[in-house]
Amino acid sequence: MSSIAESLASVKGTILEAARDCGRDPSTVRLIAVSKTKPSSMIREAYAAGQRDFGENYVQELVTKAEELRDLPELRWHMIGHLQRNKVRHIAPIVHELHTVDSERLAEELNRRLSDEGRCLPVLIEVNVSGEESKSGCSPHEAAPLCDLIRELPSLNLRGLMTIPPFFDDPAESRPYFDRLRELRDSLGGPAKLPELSMGMTDDLASAIAAGATSVRIGTAIFGARSPRV
Ligand SMILES: *Cc1c(COP(=O)(O)O)cnc(C)c1O
């Protein structure tokens, strides 16, 4: 087994255990392998080991990798980084799901581009639950009007909510932020209307699963530590 295949197997084991610990069916938790800053060769290795969903944060990097990996027919790209309106046209043809819609203007631009292509894109609303100024995402009270707007846009399929909690040394401290995202989802129509909760990264994936995560976004535990972005 390659080291990436081993890491993937180990992350899947962690997901299985975390789901069992809270009485959830592990198949309801989707693993998104976050490959930002890592070379396409590593994505190929993960794909060879059966991984299909990959997350990227930066538009140019996503575009380059999508080109390099065009030959992998089942690979699904998730855009999980902040998206500027003027970059929408670059990712619209590539991305399978977008986790970071955070404004009406972005939603409208996406809808315009996608309708030109005749596509309907699954999207999540990124919510800045902690209110940290450094974070993107809409505020919790902006989520309801944004939901209403997206539901009116024919080329966007609203699937759920996404969040990134503040950084803590003790990952258990992320839990209240995950709970708040789930409670917000429940106030916006519940799982029938918003089935997806995208939350949980390498360090806090177990508490995210306990709080109801349906997608966990895991980078470091699969691909190793990242060097700081320059
Ligand atoms: C980088 C990143 C991740 C993965 O983080 P790890 O701690 O490496 O697992 C998940 N979600 C988002 C939005 C990220 O930017």
Q: 61, 201, 220, 227: which to mutate for ligand 1, most atoms within 8 A of CB? A: 201
Indicate whether residue 128 lines ligand 1 (CB < 6 A).
no
By alpha-carbon position, which residue is closest to atom 12 of ligand 1?
Answer: 80
Beta bridge partner(s), residue 156: 121
Q: Token digits for 152?
A: 């009116």
pLDDT of res. 186: 98
CA of 34 to the centre of ligand 1 (A): 6
Residue 230's pLDDT is 53
Ligand 1 centroid, distance to 151 Cα (angstroms)? 28
Smallest Cα–Cα separation from 166: which of 212, 220, 128? 128
Q: Which atom of ligand 1 is nearest to the CA of 99?
A: 13
pLDDT digits (tens, 9 = 90+) for 119-129: 999 999 999 99
Is pTM beyond 0.85? Reply is: yes
pLDDT at 105 over 80: yes
**pLDDT tens-digit map of 45-57:** 999 999 999 999 9
SS3 content of the chain, % helix, strand, coil (to 5): 45, 15, 35
The finding on whether 155 has its CB within 6 A of some atom of ligand 1 is no
**Using a 6 Å cutoff on CB, does residue 197 contact ligand 1?**
no
What integer pLDDT is reported at residue 223 of this predicted model? 98
Structure tokens at 201: 């990264």
The band of 61, judged by pLDDT with boundaries at 50, 70 and 90, is: very high
| 128-108-30 Cα angle (round to 5) | 50
